Amino acid sequence: MIALTQFSAPGAVPARLGAGLVAVAAMLGVCVGVFGAGIGFLAFAALLPVPIILRDYRASVLVLTILLPVAPMLPPIKGLNPMKFVTIMTLGSLFLREAFSTRRLVPLPRVLWLGFVLPVTWGIAIAWPHIHEGVQNYPALADARSIYDPWAYAMARYAKPLFYYLSYVFLVSHAVRHSERPDRFLWQLAAAMVIPALAVFYTVATYPGTLLDVSRDREFMAPRGLHANEFGMMLAAGAGPLLFLGGGAASPAWRWVSRAAFALVTAALLLTFSRGGLMSWLVVVLGYLLHHRRLKTFLIGAVMTAVILVAAPESMKERFGTGLHSGAFGDVSNVEKDDLTAGRVHGWLLLAPDVLDSPWFGRGLGSTQWSTAVAAGHYKANHPHNIYLEILMDLGLVGLSAMACLLAGQLRCFGRLARNSALSPNMRVFFVGARWSLLGTLLMAATTAYYMPNAAQFPLWFFVGLALASNDTGCDRPSGRPARSARAA
């Protein structure tokens, strides 16, 4: 109030407020006039935070953290993609800020470029001559010609995922560095995971059928833009830090918020009926029990597990127990008889021989779509339901080795950060949970799809951003060297 009376003339504040409201109303009118009522309001919502983004890019990092997990649910706006718009504006705001600062921008670590970006770049180059084959291999696909246009395919499967997620890691790392209280960014993970969980609850609640029908319909989450297993992967990956913060955060408020978020995420995960997601979640819970190694913790965990097993509805028991019967491991001759893996092993046997066609460098990004089994009509999906087999088919042994080194390095990185006394207690606990989440995701990767960045992997990219912020080269340094701290005043 003192500042306002000293530097503002009488009536200046109401005048500015009025001018701001007029500008907002004019922006809303233009958006509605150009895009129509429904899309216009979404466009207006995307444009509204522009002044805030330009003032402080860290505010829009929060927006991106909320948007990335739900991006597949957003309706497309031709000419104004909210993700692209907010990402470019945030990068521009950061570069403008640093242009007038003595601080330096810290690039993404070498290990990320060499272990991920370089292999997938040669992958899209190798794939280029084969992309058009998808038109013949998927004749039932109505828009096959537009999907398998080489430029459109490269943008959708290569350029856009790399741009959004590498930009996000870069922005998160700098936002945390420039924050006086980096712990606040941990709240963003809870918010980002609760929204997809609520989407699962809403979808199940509005499904036109019983819970048993939901469990048998593996496409029930398709209206939300992701497969149920992808929601399972996302929620299980986000559960790790939430569980560890719920048990070991520095303040009661942190612990209770984390516990509440973990409970919501767990309930939503169970409602996805994703067996791979449950397997990943169990790795996180096992990691928590092994980390604490207290009798009380084991007893509470055992009691809670028993209660969940007894109280679970029959639909969950049926779904999670699928294939667990006598002879379940014996017949993978066709999809129908392979209950335990839902036909996955049968599919792997069909696709695996293609690895021998180019064992060192693979046959390009998305090579399942021009594989021998798909061309012959023996396999229908566009991925092998196994990330390791997919990498081997697409990028060969060289690409698989590069990514294995990257992931092993990231696990070591999280472990070192969890023991780094220069970090706050909350940050150290967070990285313990992140490490177990990554281990759980690596287990689930044997039964799921897509190693290229996507919403299902969002928590892992959030972890990488925080790791890069906590250690200027993203743990790409000998473990004996201490991490630098670069905090804004």
Task: Tell me the domain boundaries of the chain.
Answer: 25-99, 110-470
pLDDT band (50, 70, 90) for residue 36: low
Quote the pLDDT of residue 7. Answer: 41
Average the pLDDT over 389-404 and give the result: 97
Q: Please check whether residue 125 is in contact with residue 361, taking contact to mean a CB–CB distance below 8 angstroms.
A: no
**Residue-wise pLDDT tens digits, 96-113:** 888 877 778 889 999 999
Q: Which of 25-39, 76-90, 285-299, 311-325 has the lowest mean pLDDT?
A: 25-39
Q: What is the overall mean pLDDT for the chain?
A: 84
pLDDT score for 142 = 85
Rounded to whole angstroms, the Cα distance separating 142 from 139 reads: 8
Q: What are phi and psi of 124, to 5 degrees?
A: -75, -30
CA dist 29 and 48 (Å) reads 13
Q: Are 239 and 284 in contact (CB under 8 A)?
A: yes
- Alpha carbons 381 and 448: distance in angstroms, whole number: 12
Task: Look at residues 331, 400, 332, 324 and name the one whose alpha carbon lies nearest to residue 362.
Answer: 400
Most confident of 244-253, 322-331, 393-402: 393-402
Lowest mean pLDDT among 47-51, 94-98, 140-144, 223-227: 47-51
CA distances from residue 222 to 68, 72, 275, 483 in whole angstroms, order as listed: 17, 10, 17, 43
**Predicted confidence (pLDDT) at residue 2 exceeds the cutoff of 50:** no
How far CA 399 is from CA of 44, 147, 451, in Å, comes to: 43, 25, 12
Mean pLDDT (whole number) for 224-244? 96
Q: Is the Cβ–Cβ distance between 144 and 135 less than 8 Å?
A: yes
User: Do residues 476 and 320 lie in contact, with contact meaning Cβ atoms separated by under 8 Å?
Assistant: no
Q: Phi first, then psi: what are they for 87, rounded to 5°?
A: -65, -50
When mean pLDDT is compared across 2-11, 212-221, 301-310, 412-421, the lowest value belongs to 2-11
Buried/exposed 472-485: b ≥16 CB within 10 Å, e otherwise? bbbbbeeeeeebee
Q: Does the pLDDT at position 129 exceed 50? A: yes
Take residue 467 and report the two structure tokens written for it. 């790791």
Alpha helices, DSSP H, located in 325-424: 344-351, 372-375, 387-418
Spatial separation of the C-alpha atoms in residues 453 and 71, rounded to whole Å: 13
Mean pLDDT of all residues in 393-419: 96
Band (42; pLDDT cuts 50, 70, 90): low
Contact between 83 and 76 (Cβ < 8 Å): no
Alpha-helical (H) ranges within 71-117 are 82-99, 110-112
Q: Over the stretch 243-269, which tens digit does the pLDDT of each residue have?
A: 999 988 888 989 999 999 999 999 999
Local confidence band at 330 (pLDDT 50, 70, 90 cut-offs)? low
Structure tokens given for 287: 């990691």
As a whole number of angstroms, the distance between CA 107 and CA 105 comes to: 6
Pick the most confident of 96-100, 308-312, 340-344, 425-429: 425-429
pLDDT tens by residue, 430-476 = 999 999 999 999 999 999 888 999 999 999 999 999 999 987 444 55
Residue 323 pLDDT grade (very low, low, confident, very high; cuts 50, 70, 90): low
- For residue 106, what are its two tokens? 């810290």
User: CA–CA distance from 448 to each of 66, 118, 341, 343, 392 (Å)?
Assistant: 24, 23, 11, 12, 14
pLDDT of residue 12 exceeding 60, the answer is no
90 CB burial (10 A radius; 0-12, 13-18, 19+): buried
Q: What is the pLDDT of residue 50?
A: 66
pLDDT bucket at 1, cuts 50 / 70 / 90: very low
456, 233 contact by CB (below 8 A): yes
Token pair 């066609």 is at which residue?
A: 357
Mean pLDDT, residues 215-230? 93
Give the pLDDT of residue 320: 76
- Positive or negative, the CA dihedral 123, 128, 129, 131 is positive
User: What digits encode the pLDDT tens for the residues 167-193?
Assistant: 999 999 999 998 888 898 999 999 999
Per-residue pLDDT for 70 more than 50? yes
CA distance 39 to 172: 29
Nearest to 231, CA basis, from 446, 444, 433, 464: 444
Q: What is the pLDDT of residue 474?
A: 47
Given 3-state DSSP classes, what are the helix, strand and coil percentages for the chain, each rounded to the nearest 5?
70, 0, 30
> What contacts 376, CB < 8 A, 6 or more positions away?
none
- What is the token pair recorded at 120? 């997938």
Least confident among 94-108, 212-226, 315-329: 315-329
- Burial (CB < 10 A; 0-12, 13-18, 19+), residue 330, is exposed
77-95 tens-digit pLDDT: 665 677 888 898 889 889 9
Q: What pLDDT was estimated at residue 39?
A: 60
Confidence of residue 48 (pLDDT cuts 50, 70, 90): low
Instruction: Point out the least confidently predicted range of 73-87, 222-236, 410-424.
Output: 73-87
pLDDT score at 482: 41
pLDDT band of 403, cuts 50, 70, 90: very high
Least confident of 127-131, 157-161, 247-251, 263-267: 247-251
| CA terminus-to-terminus distance, the chain | 24
pLDDT tops 90 at residue 22: no
Q: Give residue for tokens 């939901």.
A: 214
Q: Look at residue 479 in the predicted model and tell me its pLDDT.
A: 41
At residue 35, does pLDDT exceed 90?
A: no
Percent of the chain with pLDDT over 70: 80
Residues 136-154 pLDDT 10s:
999 988 889 999 999 999 9
For the chain, give the number of residues.
489
Instruction: Judge residue 139's burial from the number of C-beta atoms within 10 Å of its C-beta, 0-12 exposed, 13-18 middle, 19 or more buried.
Output: exposed
Q: Are 469 and 305 in contact (CB under 8 A)?
A: no
pLDDT of residue 485: 39
Neighbours of 5 (CB within 10 A): 9
In whole angstroms, what is the distance from residue 415 CA to residue 230 CA?
A: 26
pTM of the model: 0.87
CB 126 within 8 A of CB 364: yes
Quick check: 106 and 173 in contact, CB under 8 A? yes
Residue pair 168/64 in contact by the 8 Å Cβ criterion: yes
Would the pLDDT of 6 be above 80? no
Phi-psi sector, 210: left (phi>0), alpha (psi -120 to 50), beta: beta
